[in-house]
Structure 1
């Protein structure tokens, strides 16, 4: 009987421990970003389901009520973005604007807000740490540690003055460090990956080619050179 009682007591303790662990895990997961995150996957698509994923995954920090997007910074301050859908419907090109939260970079704690205008679009970076903002004409692609990003602007009709840009997001500050003016012959870029913090693997195509390579090799590399950056079309040894 004593042995049976000891076994029963052990089973009860195991059950209690399992329940307690489950509660702790559930409490620890509250307000955290899932390990597999759609919102953290930077991409050139601005589909509605991307913001929906951000709102779901970052629900303790971001929300949307109708046309109003609200983001709570680390300090507790609130940043808001107000759409003007009525202006867009009335073909009011001056005031037509639509904001969508398209990504969040957790290492550097930076939000990317896509801004669509009557013609063209841009991206505003927002630091959750400092509240600093930076306007870009292309979607940013961050280094793994979040210290740098490259932005590509393939919209030569309504885009900005630069088709490539390198920026910094170190220490909660946001700034552009280098920009490249489009060539005389329009071209389009495709981001491949950061090799390291000083080298970016890209592909380059003639404009309006559907990003199809007309030659055997369309690889290009953006390489840090002193205080600036340079594009090297020939393959590098990595």
Structure 2
């Protein structure tokens, strides 16, 4: 067990060292149609995606269409009139926010009268999975991480890992929601390790004791969170 912890700390140290490089490239990444970018400028994000994807996606007014690999299409229709009329029952808006060419999934931001989510849509079959936030993909696109820090109105988990390997994207592991902590994704170290930051809740993700590093580790058929002691950095 001690050997495993030492290895984990080593992986995390390497991940954190490379994080600054990743941050410097973030502005360039925001100009591409990636499925794992957190960006509230949804109209601009969609224009980037429509330009990059060409015939795979198009919008006409309130109608967004996605072409699937099985020869069919998937259509989303924003109800602008309902939203302008404050019709809470029917107000729903859709934006194309990303595409992962290796995982073969589209990322669709969905906004309701209250609340929002992200639909991960298989480009092969059109099967979808509604998520509370942006999926963060592993390098090969086979797995993705989900974070939900809204413990007041969120779902049953604050961390989850899913897979795109089947005909439909699906969650394979969930971490029971804990109102004491909030999480932030750093990066996938490899297919079995994800570097995270963990903060006391309601602190605006500030680290009061400089001890906020953690790593999510694949363990048997699931995952486990391991904190990295400050003295090990």
Q: Is the 8 A contact 1:119 1:158 kept in 2?
A: no
Calculate the aligned-residue CA RMSD, in Å. Answer: 2.2
2:102 match: 107
Aligned counterparts of 1:60 and 1:188: Cα–Cα separation in 2: 40
Greater than 4 Å deviation, 4+ residue runs: 235-238
> Which stretches in structure 1 are left out of the alignment for 5+ residues?
1-34
Mapping 1:179-190, distance limit 5 Å = 179-185=174-180, 187-190=181-184
Mapping 1:77-116, distance limit 5 Å = 77-116=72-111
1:197 corresponds to 2:191: yes
* TM-score normalised to structure 2 length: 0.80
Aligned counterparts of 1:111 and 1:224: Cα–Cα separation in 2: 25
1:141 match: 136
Q: CA deviation at 1:182?
A: 1.5
* TM-score normalised to structure 1 length: 0.79
Which of 54, 58, 74 matches 2:53? 58
Q: Secondary structure at the residue paired with 2:54? A: coil
Q: CA deviation at 1:41?
A: 5.9
1:168 match: 163
Which of 141, 149, 152 matches 2:147? 152
Q: CA deviation at 1:37?
A: 5.8
Q: CA deviation at 1:188?
A: 2.0
Structure 1 residues 129 and 233 mapped into 2: Cα distance closer, same or farther (>3 Å)? same
Structure 1 residues 156 and 88 mapped into 2: Cα distance closer, same or farther (>3 Å)? farther
1:42 corresponds to 2:36: yes
Structure 1 residues 91 and 156 mapped into 2: Cα distance closer, same or farther (>3 Å)? farther
1:213 match: 207
Q: CA deviation at 1:141?
A: 0.7
Q: Deviations over 1:142-180 (max 9, x none)?
A: 111111100111233433221111001014431110111
Q: Is the 8 A contact 2:103 2:141 kept in 1?
A: yes
Q: Report the structure number with the largest CA radius of gyration.
A: 1
